[in-house]
């Protein structure tokens, strides 16, 4: 009798393991390419405005250095220009560039407070060698890297 219960337990254990492993299998992540062009544009616009709202909220929180504020403003202007380019001349590449610009905006929103880094400064959110839309207009970079005073 004990042999039967042991086999039943092993069978139930194997069945539950197979069910658990089958539950872990999921469909691959789908990107926006299967959606229609107007739906992709709508999602790009929506994600841009959500990222912009996050940036405004982070700026209102304060505690950012001058360089961080400059990076956020540069990312915001770059995102806006990429969004306009994707809407005025729609193409797959323009949409991908718009998505990357929104990702850059989100990366700049997630910058840590520089006061939490004693003796050092946090890494910049803009990639090395990034040239934003202000570079063509001859605008200077900020001089101060000290945090702005809180409200």
Q: What is the DSSP string of 124-147?
A: PSSPTT---GGGGGTPPPPS--SB
Q: Based on DSSP, count helices (H) and strands (E) in the chain, helices before strands.
A: 4, 0
What mean pLDDT, rounded, does the chain reach?
79
Q: Are 67 and 76 in contact (CB under 8 A)?
A: no
Please report the pLDDT score of residue 48 as a whole number. 94
Per-residue confidence band for 83, with pLDDT thresholds at 50, 70 and 90: very high
Q: Where are the domains of the chain?
A: 35-111
């Amino acid at each position: 009798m004990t042999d039967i219960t042991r086999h039943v337990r092993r069978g139930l254990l194997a069945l539950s393991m197979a069910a658990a492993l089958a539950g872990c299998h999921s469909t691959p992540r789908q990107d926006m390419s299967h959606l229609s062009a107007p739906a992709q544009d709508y999602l790009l616009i929506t994600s841009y405005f959500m990222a912009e709202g996050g940036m405004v909220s982070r700026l209102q929180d304060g505690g950012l250095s001058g360089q961080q504020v400059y990076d956020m403003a540069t990312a915001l202007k770059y995102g806006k220009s990429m969004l306009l380019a994707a809407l005025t001349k729609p193409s797959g590449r323009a949409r991908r560039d718009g998505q990357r610009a929104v990702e850059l905006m989100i990366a700049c929103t997630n910058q840590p407070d520089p006061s939490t880094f004693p003796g050092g400064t946090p890494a910049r959110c803009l990639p090395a060698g990034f040239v934003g839309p202000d570079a063509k207009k001859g605008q200077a970079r900020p001089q101060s890297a000290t945090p702005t005073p809180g409200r």
